[in-house]
Amino acid sequence: MKRQVKKPGCGVILDMDGVILDSEPIHLEATNRVLKKYGAELSYRENLSLQGTAEIPYWKILMERFGFSEDVKKLIEEKEKHMFEILSRKELVPNEGLMEFLLALRKRGIPIGLASSSQLNQINFILRKLGLREFFSAITSGEEVSEGKPEPQIYLETARRLGVPPERCVAIEDSRNGLISAKRAGMKVIAYRNDFGLDVDMKINSFLELKDLKFLEEFGLLED
Report CA dihedral (221, 222, 223, 224) to the nearest 10 degrees.
-170
Q: How far, rounded to the nearest angstrom, does the alpha carbon of residue 215 sit from its chain's CA centroid?
A: 19
| pTM score, whole prediction | 0.89
Cα 100 to Cα 7, 15, 17, distances in angstroms: 25, 17, 19
| C-alpha span between 1 and 55 (Å, rounded) | 47
Residues 167 and 207 placed together within one structural domain of the fold:
yes
What three-state secondary structure class fits 126?
A: helix
15 is known as an active-site residue: yes
What is the pLDDT, as a whole number, of residue 1?
A: 46
What is the pLDDT, as a whole number, of residue 8?
A: 62
How confident is the model over 118-176, as pLDDT tens digits? Answer: 989 999 999 999 999 999 999 999 999 999 999 999 999 999 999 999 999 999 999 99
Helix (H) or strand (E) holding 184: helix 176-184
Residues 132 and 212 placed together within one structural domain of the fold:
yes
- Domain with 83, as residue range(s), is 24-89
Residues 104 and 188 placed together within one structural domain of the fold:
yes
Confidence category of residue 52, pLDDT binned at 50, 70, 90: confident
Residues 165 and 206 placed together within one structural domain of the fold:
yes
Domain boundary among 64, 89, 114: 89
21: DSSP letter: B
